[in-house]
């Protein structure tokens, strides 16, 4: 049984995704399963690896098989017809996927949206925009369930009762981060799926997350990076996408925004500067064409892109009736890009001591918030 043999293979120490993929590509798997100890030695396996193959830890294997027998849970092998086609094409395709939720959702056209753990209101605005637009065009949004842009995009998809796919760096019985357990349940309830290559009880480990990232990009036609610091794990996903021959999209931002550094670096390296959904659709038009019903002609002809909306996206250009004249003046000068109080004082010609009182009032109203670098709006 191929499923059992693959579960045994996953237990072999020092046999990572690349070596397993090479083995499956070079040798008929049914024939490999009949190899003797001598033949495995000739392949370069050591004594410990050979022992693990012939005397596997059945406790883990039995748990995995029992897990897959539960409702709404599946083991999908590389040899199954419902294994995701795009993922199957990458050089390090996982031999086996643990899936909770809809396996059929993995066949939908997908775009990955990833970004930093911390993000600005600007990043939140555009992550929400692209999630909404991609859903309207018939895509499933794929990400990593992480705190930050990943989790935010999953939540936006759930709010729209749309399919979203979460790839985990842990076993599916060890949902990480724990605060997203409810979100994971909502993803499944909406017809999406949780996906992992790790045994259900495996905890999240640092080395798991780059492996998770290659699956995120491997499932997707392209990967959009919304915001990223230079050390963000989302850049690893982008690198994998490039290696896999997939499109990489990056959102431009202001040079002063620390979360823009990673995206700007990607753009310098050839990622597609992405201002609207039209940029994504144009880049993948030969791989996927949305149905006529799903295409919003107005958004295609007049996309609400960054260039014609201003990079800082001001809150409003009109008077806010519930605010005092002083507060209205302040709000006209606060955007999604942080502004320091000294700069705000110069822009409004309001004394700093008065500004501090008015800013506190606006914070209590939920109109603005204080972040690193100054104040930003919290709603559009």
- Residue-wise pLDDT for 237-291, tens only, equals 999 999 999 999 999 998 878 889 999 999 999 999 999 999 999 999 887 755 4
Q: 291 to each of 131, 133, 227, 288, 371, how far by Cα in Å?
A: 18, 14, 30, 9, 42
Q: Which of 215-229, 304-318, 340-354 has the lowest mean pLDDT?
A: 304-318
Asked if the model's pLDDT at residue 312 lies above 60, the reply is: no
Q: Where are the beta strands (DSSP E) in the chain?
A: 73-77, 96-101, 110-114, 140-143, 164-167, 193-196, 222-225, 247-250, 272-273, 368-371, 374-377
- pTM score, two decimals? 0.79
Task: Please state the rounded mean pLDDT for residues 76-94.
Answer: 94
For residue 165, the SS3 value is: strand
Asked if the model's pLDDT at residue 154 lies above 50, the reply is: yes
Q: Mention every residue, 6+ apart, whose C-beta is less than 8 A from residue 240.
A: 213, 214, 216, 217, 218
For position 301, what pLDDT does the model report?
40
Reported as a pLDDT band with limits 50, 70 and 90, residue 101 is very high
Q: Mention every residue, 6+ apart, whose C-beta is less than 8 A from residue 135.
A: 141, 157, 160, 162
Asked if the model's pLDDT at residue 303 lies above 70, the reply is: no
For position 14, what pLDDT does the model report?
86
Q: Which of 43-47, 283-287, 308-312 has the lowest mean pLDDT?
A: 308-312
Q: Which of 214-223, 305-314, 331-340 has the lowest mean pLDDT?
A: 305-314
Reported as a pLDDT band with limits 50, 70 and 90, residue 199 is very high
For position 254, what pLDDT does the model report?
85
Q: What is the DSSP letter of 259?
A: G
Closest CA to 23 of 1, 45, 48: 45
Contact 150, 125 (CB under 8 A): no
What's the whole-number average pLDDT of the chain? Answer: 88
Asked if the model's pLDDT at residue 294 lies above 50, the reply is: no
Q: What percent of the chain has pLDDT over 90?
A: 66
Task: Please state the rounded mean pLDDT for residues 49-72.
Answer: 94
Closest CA to 138 of 292, 305, 249: 292
Asked if the model's pLDDT at residue 306 lies above 60, the reply is: no
Task: Please state the rounded mean pLDDT for residues 184-205.
Answer: 97
The 3-state DSSP composition of the chain as helix, strand, coil percent (nearest 5) reads 45, 10, 40
Contact 142, 164 (CB under 8 A): yes
Q: 175 to each of 92, 165, 195, 226, how far by Cα in Å?
A: 24, 14, 11, 24
Q: Around Cβ 181, how many Cβ atoms within 10 Å?
A: 12
For position 192, what pLDDT does the model report?
98
Please state the domain extents for the chain.
1-56, 104-309, 325-377
Contact 161, 192 (CB under 8 A): no
Reported as a pLDDT band with limits 50, 70 and 90, residue 297 is very low
Q: Can you tell me the distance from the alpha carbon of 71 to that of 142, in angstroms, rounded to the nearest whole number?
A: 23
Contact 232, 282 (CB under 8 A): no
Domain 104-309 has CATH 3.40.50.450: yes
Contact 112, 222 (CB under 8 A): yes
Task: Please state the rounded mean pLDDT for residues 102-108.
Answer: 96
Task: Please state the rounded mean pLDDT for residues 170-188.
Answer: 97
Model confidence pLDDT, tens digit, residues 4-25: 999 999 889 988 888 888 888 8
For position 290, what pLDDT does the model report?
57
Task: Please state the rounded mean pLDDT for residues 39-47.
Answer: 93
Stated length of the chain:
380
Asked if the model's pLDDT at residue 193 lies above 90, the reply is: yes
For position 371, what pLDDT does the model report?
79
Fold of 325-377: Arc Repressor Mutant, subunit A (1.10.10)
Cα 254 versus chain centre, distance: 22
Q: Can you tell me the distance from the alpha carbon of 163 to that of 157, in angstroms, rounded to the nearest whole number?
A: 7
For residue 303, the SS3 value is: coil
Q: Mention every residue, 6+ apart, whose C-beta is less than 8 A from residue 187.
A: 101, 154, 157, 158, 164, 165, 166, 193, 194
For position 357, what pLDDT does the model report?
84
Q: Can you tell me the distance from the alpha carbon of 350 to that of 330, in angstroms, rounded to the nearest whole number?
A: 9
Contact 209, 217 (CB under 8 A): no
Q: Can you tell me the distance from the alpha carbon of 136 to that of 25, in angstroms, rounded to the nearest whole number?
A: 38
Q: Can you tell me the distance from the alpha carbon of 12 to that of 224, in angstroms, rounded to the nearest whole number?
A: 34
Cα 118 versus chain centre, distance: 14
For position 320, what pLDDT does the model report?
52
For position 302, what pLDDT does the model report?
43
Q: What percent of the chain has pLDDT over 70?
A: 91
Chain position carrying tokens 């729209």:
160
Question: In sequence order, which ranges of 190-291 are alpha helices (DSSP H)?
Answer: 208-219, 234-243, 261-268, 277-283
User: Which pair of structure tokens corresponds to residue 276?
Assistant: 């609207």
Asked if the model's pLDDT at residue 296 lies above 50, the reply is: no
For position 316, what pLDDT does the model report?
42
Chain position carrying tokens 């958004």:
299
For position 2, what pLDDT does the model report?
87
């Amino acid at each position: 049984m191929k499923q059992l043999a693959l579960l045994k293979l996953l237990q072999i120490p020092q046999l990572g995704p690349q070596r397993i993929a090479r083995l499956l590509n070079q040798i008929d798997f049914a024939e490999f399963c009949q190899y003797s100890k001598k033949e495995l030695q000739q392949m370069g396996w050591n004594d410990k690896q050979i022992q693990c193959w012939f005397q596997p830890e059945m406790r883990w294997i039995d748990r995995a098989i029992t897990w897959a027998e539960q409702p709404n849970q599946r083991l999908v092998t590389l040899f199954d017809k419902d294994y995701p086609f795009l993922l199957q094409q990458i050089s390090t395709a996982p031999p086996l996927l643990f899936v909770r939720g809809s396996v059929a959702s993995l066949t939908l056209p997908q775009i990955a949206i990833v970004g930093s753990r911390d993000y600005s209101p600007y990043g939140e605005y555009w992550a929400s925009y692209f999630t909404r637009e991609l859903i309207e065009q018939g895509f499933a949004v794929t990400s990593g369930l992480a705190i930050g842009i990943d989790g935010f995009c999953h939540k936006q998809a759930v709010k729209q009762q749309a399919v979203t796919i979460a790839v985990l760096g842990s076993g599916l019985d060890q949902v990480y981060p724990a605060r997203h357990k409810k979100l994971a349940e909502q993803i499944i309830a909406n017809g999406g799926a949780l996906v992992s290559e790790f045994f259900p009880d495996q905890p999240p480990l640092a080395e798991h997350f780059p492996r998770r990232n290659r699956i995120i990009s491997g499932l997707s036609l392209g990967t959009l990076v919304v915001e990223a610091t230079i050390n963000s794990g989302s850049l690893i996903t982008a690198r994998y996408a490039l290696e896999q021959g997939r499109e990489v999209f990056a959102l431009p931002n202001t040079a002063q925004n620390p979360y823009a550094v990673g995206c700007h670096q990607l753009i310098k390296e050839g990622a597609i500067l992405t201002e609207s959904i039209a940029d994504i659709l144009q880049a993948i038009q030969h791989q996927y064409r949305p149905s006529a019903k799903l295409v919003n002609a107005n958004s295609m002809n007049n996309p609400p892109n960054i260039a014609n909306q201003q990079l800082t996206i001001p809150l409003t250009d009109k008077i806010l009736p519930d605010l005092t004249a002083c507060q209205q003046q302040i709000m006209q000068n606060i955007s999604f890009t942080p502004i320091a109080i000294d700069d705000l004082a110069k822009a409004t010609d309001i004394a700093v001591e008065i500004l501090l009182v008015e800013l506190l009032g606006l914070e209590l109203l939920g109109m603005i918030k204080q972040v690193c670098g100054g104040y930003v709006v919290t709603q559009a």
